[in-house]
Amino acid sequence: MSHYDGDLRQYLEKFNKEGKQYGVKDEPKLTGYYPDEREAKAQLLANQRITVEKQLFNRAVKTFNDGISSIDKRVSSAETFLEHFTESNSIKHEIEIEIEKALPIQSKLILTRKQWQRSLHKFQDDNDIHTPPISPGSILFGVGIIMLCACAEIGLNAFFFAESQGLAFALMIAIGLSAISMGSASILGIFWRFKNLKGNTNKFIGWGAFVLAGILIIFMNALFAKFRTLYKDGDESVFLSAFHQAQGIFLGNYTFDDLQSYELFGIGVLLMGFAFYKGYQLFPKYPGYIEINEKLEEAIAEENFNAEKLRSKISELYGKNIQELKQAIELPNTAKKNLIDSSSNLNLAFKNYLSSLDAIHGDFALLVGQYRQANKAVPGRTRVPDYFDEEVPKLFSIDNDNQILEDKLNEKESLINRINKLVENPERLISQERNLKDEMVSILRIEYAQFKNAAEDEADKLSSLRTPF
């Protein structure tokens, strides 16, 4: 492609006019220097266009250099790979190293998994559990239900206490009473789960929490009901009196002073009982069961991750060699085509470059000729400088450019020879690629399984030296 489009010819009329003007002045003188001012101007215009064409050619050379440099790197990489590639011996050695590194880690992970499995089975056997751990769902949802119960009790207490002391003070009393009652009921409900486990201690904790919750629910609501009717001016003696009288509910001598006290007692018992039950449901049915199972799942995940990491490493090692071997096999077709295309583009660029230089020189000669002819044609102009009759000199030389083109084409041929030498026996490379693929499948199926078995055996040896969780 050329930028030159013959635009020097637009100056023909100007140089014709100036030739006449200089001729009238009897210039240039016979003793003047070549080139004169006008011809120097024409040279400048021509050289500007030659520079543009030179830049275009240099750009084509750079593009060729970039392409050949890229191919040279690929060829060098393939040469280095094939020089050190001896079937799969090096790969096997690397895999052996990776297995040696992964084996002790895998053994410890298997040991951890087996210990948690034994702990889980022991927990199931000790507590006669035949179902898998079941999550109770969202803890936040359960806490939200308890909070709703607390809000209901706050509203209930505020309503009943507001009659004697006003709403603001009643709310303060209600919040305090609700926090004590709902909090204690929920906590005892959590401990009630221990009754699902075997063992006297667990049964004692679980049913002890249940009995304590029953006593606490009845006593606290009897206390609240009695406190409401006795409270007048906030004196502490009133609370102590209510406390002593509330104890009578277990002795059969407790009385409700009015219907509202009875309602406060009954609704409070229901709300605290419900909070106790929701506390029981807040966490899994069997305390510690789901935690052991989670530890087991974590151990299994870590064990699988480490084993899969080794599997991926094996695939990566083989895959890398298979890919490089495949690239070496495909290199002649792709690289040769790219080299041929690049050299064709460079030749075309050089051809356009020469064509543009010839066109520029032709138009430059036309400008100078027009100037000289107009200058000599002025009437009375009998003598002109001798160089007027000489041929217009060329402003450029392409010797260096020819050498550049020749060097680049030689580089291309040298690279093609390296490529041909690289894959003198492509069938052998194809066979090696196929063997690598088959071997990778075999390694992943057999040696990987042997690795897992060896890790299991090592874990059993370690297990005999340790005690379970």
Evaluate whether 246 touches 218 at the Cβ level (below 8 Å). Answer: no
Whether 95 maps to a domain, the answer reads: no
Q: Does a structural domain hold residue 232?
A: yes
pLDDT at 233: 45
Measured between alpha carbons, how far is 376 from 169 in angstroms, rounded to an integer? Answer: 124
* 8 A C-beta contact, residue 204 and residue 188: no
Q: pLDDT exceeding 70 applies to what percent of the chain?
A: 86
Averaged confidence pLDDT in the chain: 81
- Cα 196 versus chain centre, distance: 47
| Cα–Cα distance measured from residue 78 to residue 326, given in angstroms and rounded to the nearest whole number | 10
* Pair (365, 434) in one structural domain: yes
Q: Could you tell me if 267 and 312 lie in one domain?
A: no
Are residues 275 and 144 part of one domain? yes
No. of H helices and E strands in the chain?
Answer: 12, 0
Q: What token pair was written down for 468?
A: 């379970």
pLDDT of residue 351: 92
Q: Indicate if 341 and 451 belong to the same structural domain.
A: yes
CA distances to 80, 158, 226, 251, 427 from 324, rounded to whole Å, are 11, 81, 89, 92, 16
SS3 29: coil
Q: Is residue 102 part of a domain?
A: no
Q: Tell me the two tokens of residue 303.
A: 């064990």
Q: 105 in a domain, yes or no? A: no
Amino acid at 10: Q
Q: How many residues in the chain?
A: 469
In the chain, the number of structural domains is: 2
pLDDT confidence bin for 157, thresholds 50/70/90:
low
Residue 295: pLDDT band with limits 50, 70, 90: very high
Q: Are both 456 and 312 inside the same structural domain?
A: yes
Query: 44 and 182, same structural domain?
Result: no
Domain that holds residue 443: 7-88+304-464
Confidence tier at 158 by pLDDT (50, 70, 90): low
Quote the CA–CA distance of 146 and 155 in Å, as a whole number.
Answer: 14
pLDDT digits (tens, 9 = 90+) for 340-366: 888 899 899 999 989 999 999 999 999
